[in-house]
């Protein structure tokens, strides 16, 4: 069972309204709650992107100020193929006038539009991402519910809401969505690209 994660606390805030998270992952264990990316905002303030026990994928941003969920997306689609690599992109831009454009979720280059529940940020909302709170890859804000599987090319872009085609493309022969090196990306104050490539 997985019991480790990566963490970083930015020394200064970046763009909290506009950002992109991209990650390639392969699940080793299903039917358990597992966190992909989270931010511990202090108290009950937190952001999490995670798998539920029913293997759906969710995006959750909660503020204890008023006790409200600022944004939530829960997919109808399930992710149970432990032999497959998936590519997740979360593109957030709370400056958008249309609510559903403020958070976009993509898997393998296709935007997910079928949700069991959906709530979007208010316009110009400042998220906890790119704030001086601890950011974690592979665990929740309480250091549990570890991601169990493989990850590769995990990236955070500070200041741009990008399309999945920046990070992947459809192979012309196989038709399979595959990784491509991101180019022309302005990473911003707190952006990063962790390759996790196998050197063996």
pLDDT digits (tens, 9 = 90+) for 148-195: 999 999 999 999 999 999 999 999 999 999 999 999 999 999 999 999
| HSE, side-chain direction, 13 A CA sphere, residue 102 | 25
**Radius of gyration for the alpha carbons in the chain, expressed in angstroms and rounded:** 16
Q: What is the pTM of this model?
A: 0.95
Q: Do residues 186 and 42 lie in contact, with contact meaning Cβ atoms separated by under 8 Å?
A: no
Percent of the chain at pLDDT > 90 equals 86
Query: Residue 89 and residue 173: Cα distance in Å, rounded?
Result: 23
Alpha helices in the chain (DSSP H): none
Confidence of residue 200 (pLDDT cuts 50, 70, 90): very low
- How confident is the model at residue 64, as a pLDDT? 73
Percent of the chain at pLDDT > 70 equals 96
pLDDT digits (tens, 9 = 90+) for 43-92: 778 999 999 999 999 999 998 766 678 999 999 999 999 999 999 999 99
């Amino acid at each position: 069972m997985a019991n480790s994660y990566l963490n970083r606390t930015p020394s200064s805030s970046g763009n909290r309204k506009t950002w992109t998270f991209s990650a390639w992952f392969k699940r080793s264990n299903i039917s358990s709650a597992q966190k992909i990316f989270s931010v511990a905002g202090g108290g009950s303030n937190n952001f999490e992107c995670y798998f539920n026990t029913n293997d759906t994928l969710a995006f959750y941003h909660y503020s204890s100020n008023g006790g409200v969920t600022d944004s939530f997306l829960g997919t109808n689609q399930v992710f149970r193929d432990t032999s497959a690599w998936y590519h997740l992109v979360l593109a957030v831009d709370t400056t958008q006038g249309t609510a559903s454009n403020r958070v976009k979720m993509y898997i393998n280059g296709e935007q997910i539009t079928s949700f069991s529940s959906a709530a979007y940020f208010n316009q110009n909302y400042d998220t906890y991402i790119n704030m001086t709170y601890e950011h974690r890859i592979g665990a929740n804000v309480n250091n549990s519910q570890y991601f169990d599987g493989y990850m590769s090319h995990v990236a955070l872009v500070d200041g741009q809401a990008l399309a999945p085609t920046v990070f992947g493309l459809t192979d012309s022969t196989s038709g399979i969505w595959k990784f491509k090196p991101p180019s022309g990306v302005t990473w911003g104050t707190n952006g990063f690209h962790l390759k996790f490539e196998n050197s063996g």
